[in-house]
Amino acid sequence: MPTFTAQSIREIVNGFQPSRVLLTAYELGVFTALGDAWRPSAEVATDLGTDARATDRLMNALVAMGLLEKRDGRFANGASAAKLLVRGGSDYMSGLMHSAHMWTRWSTLTEAVRRGTPVAPAQPRGEEWGEAFMAAMHWRGVQQAPEVAKAIGLDGVSRVLDVAGGTGVFSMAFARARAGLRAVVFDLPAIVPITRRYVADAGLSDRVTATPGDLTTDDFPGDFDLVFLSAIAHSFGPEENRRLVAKAARALAPGGRVVVQEFVIDEDRRGPLQPALFALNMLVGTRAGDTYAESEIRGWLTAAGLASVTRTDTRFGTSLIGGRKSIAD
């Protein structure tokens, strides 16, 4: 158990301030407006259509945080900001807008704990929200997917169903990891065009396809060697997840596997920190979503008739928990 001082408590309490400064600068496009130039804040404000004094104060705070540099009244991106926060760069963190969208919901946490349900108005899930969410999931997935493909083990796998697979980032990693493997991304009709665009940009349209459907109401296509359920269970309650895993199991060929990827919390729910915080993210944003313990996920898999359940932890804080269908089935 760590020891906290008044100062360390205050640092936690004030931790939202630099987060908000960075997100506001990102939303406004400060880093992209600077690009690779040295510019006065008033000039940046003119380009962005923002107040000159307020923009100057925001940019000074970014200097103090180490993201911008300042010299003779002019500002420039620091090396890290130039690499990660300027739109169009190869390492651009395109998913941060999703974090900005989360801000409103997290500000209602106190009332959500009082009521036990989300209280913020529903986030309009139009094209802007969808693109931001997909970009966030894709950026994280690019880091994770090659390791996940290796950890799952794709020997003998030729057909994969990637449920709510978004941009297809995991399906593409699976295809790259095993010659001849083909994957189907099953996602909402509004998401499928985004999926197809990402897959086409990667040159994998011949091996990764996308089909529209709603995982809560539609049956899955069948005869797959692997059904992958990544970052889905946390959006639903236990009974919904039991039905989802059962439906995934029915989509398997004999000997196939269902693999669930999630932030997995300890059995006594004391940690780790990321799953504990993510449970609150689900509280403020979903009706019944949560983070789950290994025993709960194992229970869904075994109830679906799957055996040989295993768990593999990744260095990204997620765990892969999977079970296999009998060859005789």
Active site residue 138: no
Q: How far apart, in whole angstroms, are the C-alpha atoms of residue 23 and residue 99?
A: 8
Q: Which residues contact 102 (CB under 8 A, 6 or more apart)?
A: 281, 285
Q: How far apart, in whole angstroms, are the C-alpha atoms of residue 40 and residue 298?
A: 57
Count other C-beta atoms under 10 Å from residue 209's C-beta: 17
Among residues 98, 101, 138, 234, the one annotated as catalytic is 234
Phi, psi at 28, each rounded to 5°: -75, -25
Give start and end residues of each alpha helix (H) in the chain: 6-13, 16-28, 30-34, 41-48, 52-65, 79-84, 96-106, 109-115, 127-152, 169-177, 192-201, 238-250, 273-285, 294-303
According to DSSP, residue 328 is labeled: T
Closest to 59 measured CA to CA, from 84, 89, 26, 82: 26
SS3 content of the chain, % helix, strand, coil (to 5): 45, 20, 35
Is the separation of the CB atoms in 304 and 248 below 8 Å?
yes
Closest to 293 measured CA to CA, from 318, 268, 314, 326: 268
Which residues are marked as active site? 234
